[in-house]
Amino acid sequence: MTKQTAWPENVIARYLTVAGATVDVTHDTLTVDDTKPNVSHAKCGGCPAYSNSEWASRADRWDNGSSWADSDARSWAQAHAETCRAIPKPA
Protein backbone atom coordinates (compact mmCIF):
# COMPACT_ATOMS: atom_id res chain seq x y z
CA MET A 1 0.00 0.00 0.00
CA THR A 2 1.32 3.45 -0.94
CA LYS A 3 1.67 5.99 1.86
CA GLN A 4 -0.38 9.16 1.28
CA THR A 5 1.27 12.44 2.26
CA ALA A 6 -0.22 15.89 2.44
CA TRP A 7 0.36 18.15 -0.53
CA PRO A 8 2.59 21.15 0.04
CA GLU A 9 0.84 24.45 0.70
CA ASN A 10 -0.42 26.25 -2.43
CA VAL A 11 -0.32 23.14 -4.67
CA ILE A 12 -3.50 23.06 -6.77
CA ALA A 13 -2.66 19.96 -8.85
CA ARG A 14 -0.11 17.17 -8.60
CA TYR A 15 1.02 14.60 -11.17
CA LEU A 16 3.16 11.52 -10.56
CA THR A 17 6.04 10.89 -12.95
CA VAL A 18 6.94 7.42 -14.19
CA ALA A 19 9.91 7.38 -11.78
CA GLY A 20 7.90 8.47 -8.74
CA ALA A 21 8.67 12.21 -8.57
CA THR A 22 5.83 14.71 -8.62
CA VAL A 23 5.04 17.64 -10.89
CA ASP A 24 3.24 20.31 -8.86
CA VAL A 25 1.08 23.13 -10.17
CA THR A 26 0.90 26.27 -8.02
CA HIS A 27 -0.12 29.90 -8.29
CA ASP A 28 2.88 32.18 -7.99
CA THR A 29 4.21 35.61 -8.85
CA LEU A 30 6.20 36.08 -12.02
CA THR A 31 8.66 38.61 -10.58
CA VAL A 32 9.75 39.52 -7.07
CA ASP A 33 8.04 42.91 -7.44
CA ASP A 34 4.60 41.36 -8.00
CA THR A 35 2.34 41.52 -4.96
CA LYS A 36 -0.35 39.01 -5.99
CA PRO A 37 -0.26 35.70 -7.85
CA ASN A 38 -0.29 36.19 -11.61
CA VAL A 39 1.11 32.96 -13.04
CA SER A 40 0.29 29.25 -12.95
CA HIS A 41 3.59 27.49 -12.35
CA ALA A 42 4.28 23.78 -12.97
CA LYS A 43 7.55 22.34 -11.67
CA CYS A 44 8.97 18.84 -11.67
CA GLY A 45 10.38 17.57 -8.38
CA GLY A 46 12.73 15.15 -10.10
CA CYS A 47 14.37 17.27 -12.79
CA PRO A 48 14.79 21.00 -13.46
CA ALA A 49 11.87 21.21 -15.92
CA TYR A 50 9.15 23.80 -15.32
CA SER A 51 6.54 25.84 -17.15
CA ASN A 52 4.94 29.23 -16.43
CA SER A 53 1.56 30.26 -17.81
CA GLU A 54 0.94 33.97 -17.31
CA TRP A 55 -2.60 34.97 -16.41
CA ALA A 56 -2.57 38.37 -18.15
CA SER A 57 -2.03 36.84 -21.58
CA ARG A 58 -5.18 34.70 -21.12
CA ALA A 59 -7.49 37.19 -19.38
CA ASP A 60 -10.94 37.96 -20.71
CA ARG A 61 -13.94 39.82 -19.34
CA TRP A 62 -15.07 36.85 -17.20
CA ASP A 63 -11.75 35.62 -15.84
CA ASN A 64 -8.41 37.14 -14.82
CA GLY A 65 -6.73 34.47 -16.91
CA SER A 66 -6.07 32.04 -14.06
CA SER A 67 -8.51 29.38 -15.30
CA TRP A 68 -6.96 29.22 -18.77
CA ALA A 69 -3.43 29.41 -17.38
CA ASP A 70 -4.24 26.60 -14.91
CA SER A 71 -5.45 24.48 -17.82
CA ASP A 72 -2.22 25.14 -19.74
CA ALA A 73 -0.08 24.37 -16.68
CA ARG A 74 -2.00 21.15 -15.97
CA SER A 75 -1.58 20.01 -19.58
CA TRP A 76 2.16 20.66 -19.47
CA ALA A 77 2.47 18.91 -16.08
CA GLN A 78 0.57 15.83 -17.29
CA ALA A 79 2.63 15.55 -20.47
CA HIS A 80 5.89 15.97 -18.57
CA ALA A 81 4.89 13.45 -15.89
CA GLU A 82 4.14 10.84 -18.55
CA THR A 83 7.72 10.89 -19.82
CA CYS A 84 10.03 12.12 -17.01
CA ARG A 85 12.27 9.37 -15.67
CA ALA A 86 14.13 11.47 -13.10
CA ILE A 87 13.87 10.00 -9.62
CA PRO A 88 12.51 12.19 -6.81
CA LYS A 89 15.00 14.46 -5.08
CA PRO A 90 15.77 13.35 -1.51
CA ALA A 91 13.86 15.20 1.20
Mean pLDDT of the 52-79 span: 92
Query: According to the model, what pLDDT value does residue 4 have?
Result: 66
Mean pLDDT of the 18-36 span: 94
**What is the C-alpha separation between 90 and 58, in angstroms, rounded?**
36
**What is the C-alpha separation between 16 and 48, in angstroms, rounded?**
15
- Checking if the pLDDT of 1 tops 80, the result is no
Cα distances (Å, whole numbers) of residue 17 to 67, 69, 83: 24, 21, 7
Query: According to the model, what pLDDT value does residue 63 have?
Result: 87
Mean pLDDT of the 48-70 span: 91
- pTM for the model stands at 0.87
Query: According to the model, what pLDDT value does residue 77 have?
Result: 98
- Checking if the pLDDT of 24 tops 80, the result is yes
